């Protein structure tokens, strides 16, 4: 049941990204072009998503399980550190250059444009490199006796 619900949620999310224009790199770049021909329409999409997320996370914070009964695991980190800032900057630069962020890029794969395939390939390679670096730079945990 969880897999079916995840598929359904992903489908609704992907369709929403396509309908809202978030999967259109030209529209995204137009939104990010504050000094040129700025297109503010995506601000309403983002505002709506933030509003829905605000209420959803407040409700979820009061629960210990998901609606399907699985344990609910919300993010626990609250500090802003160097890794978060650098990751946010890298995300923003990539979004601005390509016009894609991960969700819309995956939703756009169904269209089959070569630029989308290149972006998603680079994104997956970047995540794999990050995981490899994390594995090699993680300090070994000393076990107490």
Cα angle 40, 59, 15; round to 5: 45
84 Cβ neighbours under 8 A, 6+ residues apart: none
Closest C-alpha to 72, from 60, 59, 55: 60
Q: Quick one: CA torsion of 108, 129, 87, 95, rounded to 10 degrees?
A: -30
| Residue 141 banded pLDDT, cuts 50, 70, 90 | low
Per residue in 34-71, pLDDT (tens digit) is 898 888 988 998 899 999 999 999 999 899 998 888 89
What is the value of pTM for the model shown?
0.68
Residue 71 sits at φ, ψ, to 5 deg, of -60, 140
pLDDT of residue 24: 86
Per residue in 5-31, pLDDT (tens digit) is 989 998 998 888 888 888 888 888 888
Per residue in 95-129, pLDDT (tens digit) is 888 888 888 888 888 888 888 899 999 989 989 99
Domain ranges of the chain: 2-137
In this structure, are residues 111 and 14 in contact, taking their beta carbons and an 8 Å threshold? Answer: no
């Amino acid at each position: 049941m969880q897999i079916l619900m995840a598929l359904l949620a992903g489908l609704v999310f992907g369709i929403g990204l396509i309908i809202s224009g978030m999967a259109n790199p030209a529209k995204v770049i137009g939104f990010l072009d504050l000094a040129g021909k700025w297109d503010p329409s995506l601000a309403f999409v983002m505002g709506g998503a933030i509003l829905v997320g605000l209420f959803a996370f407040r409700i979820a914070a009061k629960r210990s399980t998901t609606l399907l009964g699985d344990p609910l695991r919300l993010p626990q980190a609250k500090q802003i550190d160097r890794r978060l800032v650098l990751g946010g900057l890298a995300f923003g630069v990539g979004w601005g250059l390509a016009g894609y962020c991960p969700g819309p890029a995956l939703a756009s794969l169904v269209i089959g444009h070569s630029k989308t395939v290149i972006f998603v390939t680079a994104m997956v390679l970047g995540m794999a490199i990050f995981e490899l670096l994390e594995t090699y730079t993680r300090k070994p945990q000393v076990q107490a006796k």
